[in-house]
């Protein structure tokens, strides 16, 4: 009965996807900006089994005769394609519109993941090439687009699992799923989005909580020199500001702020009480339009492996022994393969795992 209920849940989630943008949430919740455009949804595509379409990067929307729902791989049902044989090459195309009020800012084109290699073109101009099917990547396309303008975005993805030269995981080397291996994932399988950033923006963010010291240290690296001067950070718990501080006025591209968490706001994370603190980090470089702000979160917890009172070596969470009763979660979804159909489906899975005693 429980398996039937879970399957029905996934089917209902899938049906909802076609009435709205799939995976509409911001895809990078630990490094989130407010000015962004989700590029998920309907794209056009064409397979290129004979490697004859190398000119398609320059062809605008010509020659793209199929429709596919991004970010679901063409092998998945949710993509609307469901092609389960080997896909060596696939071309994607869609039009992107750049808001007029993005003038004077940089435009970033972000990919959650494309399996396995990819080339990106804007209006036929080559933007960049990426290798690796499970890592995110970004391009600054400011020089390729015009605020208020429409442009053709083309993505060319290639994959050759049988070559043995790329990671395969448990993707089947047979037709579709086979034995304990599963249907392959090719092309775009995570969210694609545009983002507006200032000229000197936060490039990386590293957050290091310290359970014992009741602190959190925030480090940033900016895209250009001087961006991390007077870096600031704010911690909130349940919407209430509990800590804020500024970094050094002598910082250059690398800035750092350490914030103290008062004892009355100390809420340790555990599976039974998974409390998360909200974190906002910002720069003050140049005029106000040049400031950058990102939102993140963190938890205060401490993992150890040590002997208990009886001398038995155990795992400890927040100073207390914990039994790790886990399960094999291979990250495949009935209709999305590598890609969960929605955040709600992920949350449902987590609740089910807890209900089953793991």
Ordered per-residue pLDDT tens for the chain, 358 residues? 444 444 444 444 444 444 589 999 999 999 999 999 999 999 999 999 877 765 666 666 677 889 999 999 999 999 999 998 999 999 999 999 999 999 999 999 999 999 999 999 999 999 999 999 999 999 999 999 999 999 999 999 999 988 888 888 888 887 777 777 888 999 999 999 999 999 999 999 999 999 999 999 999 999 999 999 999 999 999 999 999 999 999 999 999 999 999 999 999 999 999 999 999 999 997 788 889 999 999 999 999 999 999 999 999 999 999 998 888 877 889 899 999 999 999 999 999 999 999 9
Ramachandran class of 206: left when φ > 0, alpha when ψ lies in -120 to 50, beta otherwise: beta
Contact present, 335 and 76 (Cβ < 8 Å): yes
User: What contacts 252, CB < 8 A, 6 or more positions away?
Assistant: 225, 226, 228, 229
- pTM for the whole thing? 0.89
Contact present, 44 and 68 (Cβ < 8 Å): yes
CB atoms near residue 138 (< 10 Å): 15
How confident is the model at residue 15, as a pLDDT?
Answer: 47
Place of tokens 């155990």: 314
User: CA-CA distance, 258 to 297, in Å (whole number)?
Assistant: 15
How confident is the model at residue 149, as a pLDDT?
Answer: 97
Maximum CA pair distance of the chain? 72
User: Exposure of 206 by Cβ count < 10 A (0-12 exposed, 13-18 middle, 19+ buried)?
Assistant: exposed
How confident is the model at residue 61, as a pLDDT?
Answer: 63
Instruction: Return the structure tokens found at 150.
Output: 């429409």
How confident is the model at residue 7, as a pLDDT?
Answer: 45
Tens of pLDDT, residues 193-248:
999 999 999 999 999 999 999 999 999 999 999 999 999 999 999 999 999 999 99
Instruction: Return the structure tokens found at 247.
Output: 């970094």
């Amino acid at each position: 009965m429980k398996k039937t209920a879970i399957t029905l849940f996934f089917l209902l989630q899938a049906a909802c996807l076609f009435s709205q943008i799939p995976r509409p949430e911001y895809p990078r919740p630990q490094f989130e900006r407010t000015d962004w455009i989700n590029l998920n949804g309907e794209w056009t595509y064409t397979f290129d089994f004979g490697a004859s379409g190398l000119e398609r990067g320059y062809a605008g929307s010509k020659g793209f005769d199929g429709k596919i729902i991004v970010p679901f791989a063409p092998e998945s049902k949710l993509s609307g394609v469901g092609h389960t044989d080997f896909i060596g090459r696939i071309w994607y195309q869609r039009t992107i519109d750049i808001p007029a009020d993005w003038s004077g800012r940089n435009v970033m084109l972000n990919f959650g993941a494309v399996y396995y290699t990819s080339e990106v073109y804007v209006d036929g101009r080559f933007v960049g090439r990426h290798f690796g099917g499970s890592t995110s990547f970004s391009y600054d396309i400011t020089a390729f687009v015009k605020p208020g303008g429409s442009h053709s975005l083309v993505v060319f993805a290639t994959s050759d699992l049988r070559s043995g030269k790329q990671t395969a995981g448990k993707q089947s080397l047979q037709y579709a799923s086979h034995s304990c291996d599963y249907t392959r994932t090719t092309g775009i399988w995570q969210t694609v989005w545009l983002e507006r950033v200032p000229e000197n923006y936060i490039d990386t963010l590293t957050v290091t909580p310290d359970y014992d010291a009741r602190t959190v240290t925030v480090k940033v690296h900016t895209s250009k020199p001087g961006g991390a001067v007077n870096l600031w950070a704010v911690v909130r718990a349940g919407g209430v500001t509990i800590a804020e501080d500024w970094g050094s006025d002598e910082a250059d591209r690398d800035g750092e702020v350490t914030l103290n968490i008062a004892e009355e706001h100390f809420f340790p994370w555990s599976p039974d009480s998974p409390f998360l603190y909200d974190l906002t980090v910002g720069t003050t470089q140049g005029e106000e339009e040049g400031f950058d702000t990102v939102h993140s979160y963190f938890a205060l917890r401490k993992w150890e492996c040590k002997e208990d009172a009886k001398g038995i070596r155990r795992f400890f969470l927040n100073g207390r022994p914990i039994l790790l009763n886990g399960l094999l979660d291979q990250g495949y979804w009935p209709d999305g393969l590598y890609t969960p159909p929605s955040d709600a489906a992920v949350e449902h899975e987590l609740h089910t795992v807890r209900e089953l005693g793991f």
